[in-house]
């Protein structure tokens, strides 16, 4: 091989390597720097979902404050989250996540809100992979 051809091959190999580094490094660095904002957005979305289900007159503290986890077969596979609505320190309602594992295209994550007396305040679908419109 001629030295000119070898030189071009080296140059192209270096350019390809540089492109691979940029192609892999750029998304990784964006993910690293954006992660805190993503977590903030998730927390804000969760607070909004919780507040949709519990009337404001039933709580005076943030609904996501003091969340705990529980595991019960009736709530689906794995640990689920439990949130308490408190008014003047007394629990007035609870919000529990549940998983319906038998969705057509996978698990369906739900958020269920109930008052202390057992009355259901509402249910929201948090996540699903069902086909829209069916």
Q: Mean per-residue pLDDT for 115-123?
A: 92
Span 81-94, pLDDT tens digits: 899 999 999 999 99
Q: Are 93 and 113 in contact (CB under 8 A)?
A: yes
Q: Check residue 107 and report its DSSP letter.
A: E
Does residue 4 surpass a pLDDT of 90? no
pTM of the model: 0.68
Inter-residue contact 86 to 95 (CB < 8 Å): no
How close are the terminal C-alpha atoms of the chain, in Å? 63
CA 118 to chain CA mean position, Å: 27
Res 87: pLDDT: 94
13-68 per-position pLDDT tens digit: 899 988 888 888 888 888 888 888 888 888 898 888 889 999 999 999 998 888 88
Q: What is residue 102's DSSP assignment?
A: E
The answer to whether 70 and 97 have CB atoms below 8 angstroms apart is no
Higher per-residue pLDDT: 32 or 119: 119
């Amino acid at each position: 091989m001629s030295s000119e051809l070898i030189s071009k091959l080296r140059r192209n190999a270096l350019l390809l390597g540089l492109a691979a580094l940029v192609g892999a490094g750029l998304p990784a660095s964006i993910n690293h720097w954006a992660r805190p904002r993503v977590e903030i957005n998730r927390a804000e979305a969760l607070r909004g979902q919780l507040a949709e289900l519990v009337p404001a007159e039933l709580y005076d503290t943030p609904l996501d404050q003091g969340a705990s986890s529980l595991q019960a077969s009736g709530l689906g596979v794995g640990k689920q989250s439990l949130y308490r609505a408190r008014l003047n320190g007394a629990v007035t309602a609870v919000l529990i996540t549940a998983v319906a594992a038998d969705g057509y295209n996978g698990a369906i994550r739900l958020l269920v809100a109930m008052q202390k007396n057992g009355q259901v305040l509402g249910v929201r679908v948090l996540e699903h992979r069902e086909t829209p419109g069916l």
